A and B are shown apart, each in its own frame.
Chain A
Amino acid sequence: MFSYYIKLGWLSIRRNPILSILMVSAIAVGIGACMTVLTVNYLMSSNPIPHKSDQLFYVQVDSWDPNGFDENTEPVDQLTYIDAMNLMKAGKAFRQVASNRSGLVLEPSSEDERPFLVDARTTHADFFPMFDLPFLYGAGWDKSADDAQEQVVVLSREINERVFGGEDSVGKRVTMNGLNFRVVGVIDEWMPVPKFYDVTNGAFNLPEDVYIPFSVGVANQLSRNGNTNCWKEPDGEGFEAFLAGECVWIQFWAELRNEQEKEAYMSFLNAYAEEQKALGRFPRPLNNRLRNVMEWMEHQEVVEEDAQVMLWLSMLFLLVCLLNTIGLLLAKFLGKAGDIGLRRALGATKGTLFIQHLIESAMIGLAGGVLGLGLTWLGLKGVQRLFGDFLTHLATMDWVMVTTAIGLAIVSALLAGLYPTWRACNIAPASQLKTQ
């Protein structure tokens, strides 16, 4: 009977093309608006590293100003150089990474091409296995390179194509900020959304162009392009004083494979804080945190409140569209009273007619969903145009969202069809048969 109901649904849709187009359009507009906002929200809040997000922990140790502290005060988002290096040196986690955003000037070997700016990340060897970066050529550097301040670099695919024409550049040399780096690896496409490993500098920024050892960045006093905050002035002038001061500017991640490792690491952090207190630092009470990737995203409010308000508004808009659809469906189904009365006379039960008309509603929903996908695509293009290139990778649809759009449209149409269908099925057949 299902195929029969599909056939009847199609005939009914064709019978009242204007009414059908209006219903499909109402659903499509609602779905388009809702899915545009939902897609951006979904990508904003998606898990960027689902297979190990519960093993990666953002580390916060509270070295901050004692003034204004109360029990609800959160520790600062980043670490001081002293703390980051102490935690790296202790090496208590399975893997650990201190890193910072920087910017360099890359000087191509070809005299025809001008030097250009590249986004850089100064980091540690564990960065690559810890965050599962995919490699096109070579690999990351090892810990000895960190310790020896080796001038090695990992390039993004785009930079490798620009500088080396996309060929295997491992072992080749590239000059940045006057320093000569040896290429050890080239990353394949990698676009974590959100950019979870450094949300303090923009959760939806693109990953960096080049990656170099943290120790090289410090040794050469390379620029810091990320946020730097200090609660008291460094004791003295110059870079050394800055490093020795209470300025926070480093993101620190630890990979802890199970609850035991997490508990042990938390104990270590608290012991470290106590030790620093004994040395006259950490004036606040113990206030350290370990948050996994999704907890950290939530804490940092990666999905902004405005976006969530927009989502609710778009849902309300969909509801208004559905109320319109209910009215149109009611008009359509009650207009079929003669047909329904006849079918009742010929032996159709209310149940079979109910299914038949719900399937017709679902078909309208499906058509609305497909058209709504087109409108969603246009909506996302509009979002891109409105907010610029940095949202390009947010304003795209994956199969989950396509399926969600179609599913939402069908479910919406089914809900909208319930009352009209119920009314239609309760039409008294005898009253219709004389008047047909």
Chain B
Amino acid sequence: MLSMQNVAKIYRTDTVETHALRAFSMEVAEGEFVAVTGPSGSGKTTFLNIAGLLETFESGVYKLDGSDVSSLSDAKRSNVRNEKIGFIFQSFNLIPDLNVFDNVDVPLRYRGFKSAERKRRIESVLETVGLASRTKHLPSQLSGGQQQRVAIARALAGEPRFLLADEPTGNLDTQMAASVMALLTEINQRGTTIIMVTHDPSLAEQATRNIYIRDGQVSEDSSAETLSAPEAAA
């Protein structure tokens, strides 16, 4: 479903070149829940941004759903983001003066859905995250956990093929974090592929696959260990 081969990303200033990703390769299959961990500055967020078509890269090949998206135009990248990818951010990134309903509505507007279809999807997805009764609330009237649920609802409303989550529980207390993780697990079990960047090993353990990034490369991949274990035993 998601395939990156030898992707390189360099950030340049007048005096410094920073290699954020070096010959980065990774495959994610449909239905996986992948947790990406690694030290600060290892390239986790850069990987997530490239996966979400928010950034371009210098070299390598990136295929999404079998299509090469490396050289798409800006408008087409926007369309792919809108139709296939859902984003969840650490700081929720809700629009403060739009209520819950209108926040979830944002990506659907850009998709061009009719009013009735948008309403159906928003009500359904808010029901899923347990906020059907809060449609008229502003973000400031919700707790952190509720705000992240709204963000998850917004990410799910377009029925994307996969979710990209960047520290989704980073701003939440333990109880709320657990509740959000439970929701993400439930969403994954319904078939949505999830890639989650996190610093928290206990959250990473709840994913079906763990990837560790160091110096812009995958240094550990739990799926490879699982695959190689029987061979080693044999």
A: which residues have CB within 8 A of B? 1, 4, 11, 14-15, 338-339, 342-352, 428-430, 433-434, 436
Contact = CB atoms under 8 A, between A and B. Distances in A.
Given A338-B93, A344-B78, A429 B54 contact: yes
B97 interface: yes
A352 B74 CA distance: 12
Given A345-B87, A350-B78, A430-B49, 18 more contacts: A11-B97, A342-B93, A343-B110, A344-B78, A345-B52, A345-B81, A346-B154, A347-B81, A347-B111, A348-B78, A348-B110, A349-B79, A349-B110, A428-B55, A429-B54, A433-B93, A436-B89, A436-B93
B95 A430 contact: no
Contacts of A14: 97
A433 B90 CA distance: 9
Contacts of A344: 54, 78
20 contacts: A11-B97, A11-B98, A342-B106, A343-B106, A345-B52, A346-B87, A346-B110, A347-B78, A347-B79, A347-B83, A348-B110, A349-B78, A350-B75, A350-B78, A351-B75, A429-B54, A430-B49, A434-B45, A436-B89, A436-B93
B219 to A, nearest CB: 23
Interface residues of B, number: 28
A338 B89 CA distance: 12
Contact of A1 (B74, B97, B98, B109): B109
B135 interface: no
Contacts of B90: 434
Nearest to A343: B106
A346 to B, nearest CB: 4
Nearest to A435: B91
A433 B110 contact: no
B168 interface: no
Nearest to A7: B102
A342 B95 contact: yes
A292 B52 CA distance: 71
Contacts of A436: 89, 91, 93
Nearest to B102: A7
Closest 5 CB pairs of A and B: A347-B82, A430-B54, A347-B110, A346-B107, A430-B49
Contacts of B98: 11
B118 to A, nearest CB: 11
A201 to B, nearest CB: 63
A434 to B, nearest CB: 7
B13 to A, nearest CB: 13
A347 B55 contact: no
Given A338-B93, A343-B106, A433 B54 contact: yes
A180 to B, nearest CB: 79
A344 B158 CA distance: 15
Given A14-B97, A338-B93, A346 B82 contact: yes
Contacts of B106: 342-343, 346
B78 A339 contact: no
Contacts of A433: 54, 87, 89, 93, 166
Nearest to A15: B97
A12 to B, nearest CB: 8
